[in-house]
């Protein structure tokens, strides 16, 4: 059946490549057979043969002969699908393209870099950092002169910080991160106290990758070098480094300090907090106090319990109290920007083992900006491999052709005759200014205006990268034989599924006339043994043994009446509405019913009365009507078996037709050579 997932595929690349390499001079992947004039090479046959015989302990020449016959049938079916145009159906082409996209992805990722990122992320998961930063904004597409100005500003701030000036005061004075300073209340938000650059605790994946890397590479109490992110330039002061919190769940009792509270009000609230904490130390019920006293009404309804959190989810003063707590412990009250908290540890889940978190790390890295490092590594390799050559002067000459209309999506290409200079080349591909202009024209869109030189440079880089990757993608099948064989396998597998469904599976189900005719030919292969046709009467809920015997006698008399049908008999028995009655007239083989097995002549009758758990009685009475000689089972009784057999029949007929319809020929010398060397 058709491949629906990629998980089951075991690519037998090593053996195949070893075979091809060891026999490169003598065989050079020769043609093993031709199907309808089309060559099928040794590598394709060995690839599929090896996969289907991967568990064979020793080479079996006979099995290879048998498999060649199956392989010929397989290729004939695929050829029939192509002749019938199935390979041109859009849905099937799209399906194959989808598989190719998945299968080609690993060729554009540096697996070594990817593994290094996984190892690095897991190592960082073991630690939580607390850090402050100062930001000087600089657009990621800023001109070199503007980036230099921003960098020089940050460098002066860095010198001040390293000379001993308080980092929080420098952040308050210079940082362009709005969270550093107090923000007055507006209609959209309440008063927000500035963090003076303090970002609180964080771990891996909580910050953009360059910032994260700089922070983890800086020792506690130290200040990092200047680091560039998409937001601008940063310096980072690492203030704490702790073994990872992991995930924690706590309960808290919260006491809010209202805005603009007086000092006296604050002292009264603190005194209340201290008294509640003392009650808890003396054994008071935390959940009850949370329900009745906490100003966090949402968590109060849940005994004060908060959702599971990681170190970066709550304010740092709160998290600091959580780190040392063991399950069930209650921390001393802590004041945060929101108010006072009394915290009780409920549970904690530490960072899992490497194997436990591996899949999660893979998924998170694939969605993170650091994943670009894996792609860029491949791109750099391809540029070197294909000897990328670039003409910077031709690019500089191109700047004059671009104006601000490109930022509103209305830029028009200059005449092609003015854009003849070659911009870049790699391998045997050459790209002119006109090619690049066509790319700009097709990709332009409305966007905020930028410096035209920066914009053109960025788009040029994207264009070069796109073309190199597209060139590599187009050549994967020839550059990597194992990929070509795998794609051939998927292509043929899809066509095989479709043509078999059309010629065999669907036909066997829909061709009712053909199925009936086939059944008539083989029905004597599906015989019933001698059977007994009998009526079985089961009556439950009879009040006592004597009543059961009387009812059995009455039923026997009723059964012997010529006009007594099953329905009539059931109605007579059900005159007592408390009874449960089941009557069936069927054909039974030996072993189906123990009472019937005792009967040997038509008209014989027997019964059994058994008490049940409720103290009432159940009656089973049977009468043998006739002995049924062996006969074929009806089609409906064996439809599944007949349909499967009919499918096999259709497939054999189809293969016979294909072998006569299409020419095919095995190169016996090549096949002998394979068997001798495999």
Establish if 122 belongs to a structural domain.
no
**Domain annotation covers residue 41:** no
pLDDT tens, residue by residue, 167-194: 999 999 999 999 999 888 777 777 778 9
Residue 571 pLDDT grade (very low, low, confident, very high; cuts 50, 70, 90): confident
Same-domain pairing of 233 and 257: no
Predicted local confidence at residue 562, as pLDDT: 66
Report how far apart, in Å, the C-alpha atoms of 304 and of each of 25, 253, 292, 293, 345 are.
77, 6, 10, 10, 11
CA 373 vs CA 195, 217, 226, 229: distances in Å: 33, 18, 21, 15
Same domain, 239 and 251: no
* DSSP H or E stretch at residue 153: helix 144-162
Element (H, E) at 344: strand 339-349
Torsions phi, psi for 199 (to 5 deg): -95, 0
Lowest-confidence region among 64-68, 238-242, 289-293, 395-399? 64-68
* Predicted pLDDT at 273: 97
Reported confidence tier of residue 578, pLDDT bands at 50, 70, 90: confident
Q: Are residues 321 and 410 in the same domain?
A: no
**Nearest-CA neighbor of 107 among 500, 379, 363, 348?**
379
Express each pLDDT in 92-107 by its tens digit.
999 999 999 999 999 9
Q: Does pTM surpass 0.85?
A: no
What mean pLDDT is predicted for residues 335-362?
96
Q: Does the pLDDT at position 2 exceed 60?
A: no
Better pLDDT: 155 or 3: 155
Of the candidates 432, 455, 478, which is a domain's last residue?
455
pLDDT of residue 1: 38
Name the more confident of 3 and 146: 146
Indicate whether 21 belongs to any domain.
Answer: no
Which residue, 629, 649, 673, sits at the end of a domain? 629
251's CB contacts (< 8 A; 6+ apart) are 286, 287, 290, 299, 303, 304, 305, 306, 343, 344, 346
Helix H segments across 404-511?
Answer: 433-443, 452-474, 476-479, 481-500, 506-510
| Rounded-to-integer distance, Cα 293 and Cα 289, Å | 6
Give residues with Cβ within 8 angstroms of 183, minimum separation 6: 189, 191, 192, 194
Are 300 and 327 found together in one domain? yes
546 and 562 belong to one structural domain? yes
Say whether pLDDT at 677 is over 50: yes
Q: What is the pLDDT of the chain when averaged over all its residues?
A: 91
| Alpha carbons 519 and 543: distance in angstroms, whole number | 51
The answer on pLDDT for 319 being more than 80 is: yes
DSSP class per residue in 569-584: HHHHHTTSTT-EEEEE
- Tell me, yes or no, whether 444 lies in a domain: yes
Say if residue 238 is in the same domain as residue 310.
Answer: no
Tell me what percent of the residues of the chain surpass a pLDDT of 70: 94
Mean pLDDT of 339-346: 97
**281 CB burial (10 A radius; 0-12, 13-18, 19+):** exposed
Angle at which helices 42-52 and 13-22 pack, to 10 degrees?
140
Give yes or no: residues 233 and 260 share one domain: no
**Per-residue pLDDT tens digits for 376-415:** 999 999 999 999 999 999 999 999 999 999 999 999 999 9
Q: What angle in degrees, to the nearest 10, is found between the helix axes of 263-281 and 286-293?
A: 150
Percent of the chain with pLDDT over 90: 80
pLDDT tens column, 529-559: 999 999 999 999 889 999 999 999 988 888 8
CA quadruple 409, 415, 418, 423: dihedral, nearest 10 = 50
Tokens 């070893």 — which residue? 18
On whether the CB atoms of residues 272 and 257 are closer than 8 A, the answer is no
Look at residue 21 in the predicted model and tell me its pLDDT: 43
Answer yes or no: is 596 within a domain.
Answer: yes
Q: Is the pLDDT of residue 20 over 60?
A: no
Residue 8 confidence (pLDDT): 29
Same domain, yes or no, for 224 and 274? no
Position 335 in a domain: yes
Residues 208 and 261 in one domain: no
Return the pLDDT at 678: 72
Is the pLDDT assigned to residue 656 strictly greater than 80? yes
Cα pseudo-dihedral 50, 51, 52, 58, rounded to 10: 40
When divided into structural domains, the chain yields a total of 4
User: Residue 369: pLDDT above 50?
Assistant: yes
Q: Which domain covers residue 279, as residue numbers?
A: 247-350
What is the reported pLDDT for 55?
52
Question: How large is the average pLDDT for residues 259-279?
Answer: 92
Question: Strand ranges (DSSP E) for 171-259?
Answer: 198-202, 227-229, 232-243, 247-256
The average pLDDT across 343-353 equals 97
pLDDT band at 4 (very low <50, low <70, confident <90, very high): very low
Q: Tokens standing for 91? A: 């849905």
Of 99-108, 125-134, 301-310, 550-559, the one with minimum mean pLDDT is 550-559
Write the pLDDT tens digit of every residue in 28-39. Answer: 789 999 999 999
Q: Distances in Å between the alpha carbon of 389 and those of 7, 220, 463, 464? A: 40, 46, 14, 11
Crossing angle for the helix pair 61-83 and 639-661, to the nearest 10 degrees? 80
- Tell me whether residue 472 is in a domain: no
pLDDT at 7 over 60: no
68 contact partners, CB below 8 Å, separation of at least 6: 45, 666, 671
CATH number, residue 623:
3.10.50
Q: CATH code at 339?
A: 3.10.50.40
Where is pLDDT greater, at 8 or 654?
Answer: 654
Residue 34 in any domain: the answer is no
For residue 524, what pLDDT band results from cuts at 50, 70 and 90? Answer: very high
My answer on whether 238 and 144 are in the same domain is yes
Whole-number pLDDT of residue 97: 96
- Confidence category of residue 279, pLDDT binned at 50, 70, 90: very high
Instruction: Identify the weakest region by mean pLDDT among 56-70, 262-276, 585-599.
Output: 56-70
Say yes or no: 142 and 236 in one domain. yes
Domain endpoint, select from 210, 243, 276: 243
Q: Are residues 222 and 252 in the same domain?
A: no
Most confident of 11-20, 182-191, 297-306: 297-306
């Amino acid at each position: 059946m058709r491949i629906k997932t990629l998980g089951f595929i075991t690519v037998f690349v090593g053996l195949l490549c070893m075979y091809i390499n060891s026999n490169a001079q003598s065989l050079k992947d020769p043609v093993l057979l031709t199907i309808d004039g089309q060559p099928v090479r040794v590598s394709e046959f060995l690839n599929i043969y090896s996969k289907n015989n991967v568990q064979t302990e020793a080479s079996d020449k006979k099995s290879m002969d048998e498999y060649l016959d199956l392989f010929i049938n397989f290729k004939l079916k695929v050829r029939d699908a192509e002749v019938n145009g199935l390979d041109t159906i859009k849905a099937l082409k799209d399906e194959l393209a989808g598989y190719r996209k998945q299968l080609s992805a690993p060729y554009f990722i540096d697996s070594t870099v990817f593994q290094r990122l996984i190892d690095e992320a897991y190592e960082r998961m073991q630690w939580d950092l607390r850090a402050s930063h100062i930001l000087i904004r600089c657009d990621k597409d800023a001109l070199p002169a503007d980036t230099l100005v921003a960098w020089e500003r940050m460098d002066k701030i860095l010198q001040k910080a390293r000379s001993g000036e308080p980092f929080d005061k420098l952040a308050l004075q210079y940082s362009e991160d709005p969270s550093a300073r107090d923000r007055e209340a507006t209609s959209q938000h309440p008063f927000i106290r500035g963090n003076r650059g303090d970002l609180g605790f964080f771990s891996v994946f909580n910050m953009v990758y360059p910032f994260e890397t700089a922070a983890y590479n800086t020792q506690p109490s130290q200040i990092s070098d200047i680091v560039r992110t998409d937001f601008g330039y940063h310096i980072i002061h690492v203030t704490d480094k702790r073994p990872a919190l992991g995930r924690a769940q706590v309960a808290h009792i919260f006491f809010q300090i209202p805005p603009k509270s007086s000092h006296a009000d604050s002292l009264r609230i603190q005194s209340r907090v201290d008294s509640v904490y003392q009650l808890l130390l003396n054994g008071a019920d935390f959940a009850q106090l949370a329900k009745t006293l906490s100003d966090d009404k949402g968590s109060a309804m849940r005994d004060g319990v908060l959702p599971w959190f990681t170190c970066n989810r709550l304010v740092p003063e709160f998290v600091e109290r959580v780190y040392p707590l063991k399950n069930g412990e209650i921390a001393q009250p802590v004041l945060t920007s929101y108010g006072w908290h009394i915290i009780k540890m409920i549970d904690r889940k530490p960072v899992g083992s490497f194997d436990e978190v591996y899949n999660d790390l893979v998924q998170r890295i694939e969605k993170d900006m650091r994943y670009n490092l894996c792609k860029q590594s491949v791109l750099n390799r391809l540029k070197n491999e294909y000897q990328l050559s670039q003409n910077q002067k031709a690019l500089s000459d191109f700047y004059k052709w671009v104006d601000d209309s490109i930022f509103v999506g209305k830029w028009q290409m200059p005449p092609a005759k003015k854009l003849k200079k070659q911009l870049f080349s790699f391998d045997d591909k050459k790209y002119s200014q006109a090619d690049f202009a066509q790319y700009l024209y097709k990709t332009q869109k409305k966007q905020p205006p930028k410096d035209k030189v920066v914009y053109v440079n960025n788009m040029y880089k994207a264009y070069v990268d796109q073309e190199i990757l597209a060139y590599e993608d187009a050549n994967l099948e020839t550059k990597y034989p194992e990929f070509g064989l795998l794609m051939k396998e998927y292509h043929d597998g899809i066509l095989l599924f479709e043509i078999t469904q059309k010629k065999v599976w669907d036909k066997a189900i829909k061709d009712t006339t053909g199925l009936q005719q086939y059944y008539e030919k083989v029905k004597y292969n599906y015989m019933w043994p001698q059977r007994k046709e009998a009526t079985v009467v089961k009556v439950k809920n009879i009040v006592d043994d004597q009543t059961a015997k009387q009812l059995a006698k009455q039923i026997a008399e009723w059964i012997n009446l010529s006009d007594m049908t099953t329905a009539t008999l059931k109605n007579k028995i059900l005159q007592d509405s408390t009874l449960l009655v089941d009557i069936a007239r069927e054909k039974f083989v030996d072993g189906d019913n123990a009472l019937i097995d005792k009967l040997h002549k038509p008209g014989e009758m027997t019964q059994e009365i058994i008490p049940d758990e409720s103290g009432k009685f159940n009656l089973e009475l049977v009468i043998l009507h006739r002995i049924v000689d062996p006969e074929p089972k009806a089609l409906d009784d064996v439809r599944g078996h007949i349909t499967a057999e009919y499918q096999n029949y259709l497939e054999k007929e189809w293969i016979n037709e294909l072998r006569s319809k299409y020419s095919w020929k095995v190169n016996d010398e090549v096949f002998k050579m394979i068997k001798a060397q495999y």
